[in-house]
Amino acid sequence: MSLDLSHPSCEDLRRTARRRIPKFAFEYLDSATGRELGLKINRDALDAIGFMPSVLCGRTTADLSCELMGERYDLPFGMAPVGMSGLIWAGAERMLAKASVAANIPYCLSSVAVASPEDIAPHIGQNGWFQHYPVNSGELRRKMLPRIKAAGFHTLVMTVDVPEESRRERQRRANLTVPPKFDLRTIAEMLRHPTWCVAHLREGVMPRMRFFDDYVPQRGRESFTHAGALIRGIPDWTYLRELREEWDGKLVVKGVQRPDDAARMVSEGVDCIWVSNHSGRQFEAGPAVIDQLPLIRAGVGPEVPLIYDSGVAWGLDVMRALAKGASFVMLGRAFLYAVAAFGARGIEHLIHVLRSDIEANMSQLGAERLDQLSHYLLETQRAFEPALPPQKAVSMK
């Protein structure tokens, strides 16, 4: 049966992923922190964003391409960094990289992925971004940055919303520890998912953080401990300033929720602000991050690129974020549900689903360009004056 019939939405991919992978891997991917209020707050706020369709617009063909930090992408969304993707499904990072090139969208490789930048380099072309967690010494950072650049990653994303590990209760109940322990319960769970095990055997790589391996005395399990506790540093403004001086490519800061933080980052020379609350994985009592987006846009002005993520699961969500002031949208879990459900085919399918959903909904609105979307927001939800009038209204004059 075609995936379009059996899995028409991201929610369907999530359901299949849950069946195909061990519980500890699924809970790692799916969970948020605390009572997981953050997930609900984000979802409710996204759902509350409505549009006013316009009719008699003739046939509309939506142009979904967009420019971000000087690069042209075919779609307004990309792949957010997901640590240990290769644990969720063997070879996930490579599959994501290849799919990002095929669809011409960006893929941000996590510094705590299973694959190293060198593993991904042959597959990523110009579409690779690299995510950086602050490390505990400038010396270490200065060793890492040229390596990332040499592997072909031109955009660096510094994540600032993980000052400490968060407590993810669901993950704990599923027996996932860092470093992972292979006790009877974990092994039994793995054996209940033979396809997942075979994929790992075929890949032949023990899931571990290969980028960090080179910076710790003993490889393997130790890289988990070091990345989590020893290598990880505390993000602060001095760190950001030093990083800006040392990295001559594009610099994005990820995990921003406050307009004053965003404005200060721009004045520090950051190229792009990534508005995100890690999808409720770090702190659950903050605002719905989509509601912060227009405030941040108003603060930094129309020119600064803003990326939005957290809770995006439908093409309509991508449109909501763009209408609220984002220049681009990223998805984390959705792409990993897709890989876990159907491997490379799943990623391709998810991209198709998101694209089709955006096209269908834009034609309902009568919109042809992404920069028109804010015009179609319900009157009560317009937080800032949109830049351009709807194209159809113009052509009627």
Ligand X SMILES: Cc1cc2nc3c(=O)[nH]c(=O)nc-3n(C[C@H](O)[C@H](O)[C@H](O)COP(=O)(O)O)c2cc1C
Per CB under 6 A, 78 contacts ligand X: no
Q: Is 318 in the site for ligand X (CB under 6 A)?
A: no
> How would DSSP label each residue in 257-294?
--HHHHHHHHHTT-SEEEE--GGGTS-SSS--HHHHHH
- Binding mask 114-143 vs ligand X (x if CB under 6 A, - otherwise)? -----------------x------------
Torsions phi, psi of 51, nearest 5?
-120, 160
Q: Looking at 278, 297, 320, 375, which residue binds ligand X (CB under 6 A)?
A: 278
Residues 6+ apart with CB under 8 A from 210: 113, 114, 115, 116, 119, 223
Residue 251 phi, psi dihedral angles, 5° rounding:
-120, 125
155 lies in the binding site for ligand X (CB under 6 A):
no
**278 annotated active-site:** yes
Residue number, 38 or 366, with CB nearest to ligand X: 38
180 scored as a contact of ligand X (CB under 6 A): no
> Which among 122-130, 143-151, 230-238, 274-282 is the span making contact with ligand X, rule CB under 6 A?
274-282
Task: Say which of 123, 193, 278, 375 is annotated catalytic.
Answer: 278
- Which of 51, 133 has the CB closer to ligand X? 133
Least spacing, CB of residue 330 vs ligand X, in Å: 7
At residue 31's C-alpha, the angle toward residues 197 and 277, to 5°, is 130
> Nearest residue to ligand X, using CB?
332
Residue whose CB is less far from ligand X, 313 or 367: 313
Structure tokens at 151: 């592997």
Q: Which of 155, 171, 257, 279 touches ligand X by CB under 6 A?
A: 279
- Among 22, 25, 26, 28, contact with ligand X (rule: CB under 6 A): 28
The Cα–Cα gap between 282 and 85 comes to 18
Q: Phi first, then psi: what are they for 128, rounded to 5°?
A: -90, 130
**Binding residues for ligand X restricted to 232-261, rule: CB under 6 A:** 254
Cα separations in angstroms, 342 against 17, 102, 130, 196 = 8, 17, 25, 11
Distances in Å between the alpha carbon of 318 and those of 18, 96, 161, 213?
A: 24, 19, 22, 36
Q: Could you give the string, one character per residue 79-108, with x where binding to ligand X holds by CB under 6 A and - elsewhere?
A: -xxxx-------------------------
Structure token pair of residue 28? 């790692």
Cβ distance 219 to 147 under 8 Å? Answer: no
Catalytic sites, residue numbers: 278
Binding region for ligand X (CB under 6 A) = 28-29, 80-83, 110, 112, 131, 159, 254, 276, 278-279, 281, 309-312, 331-334
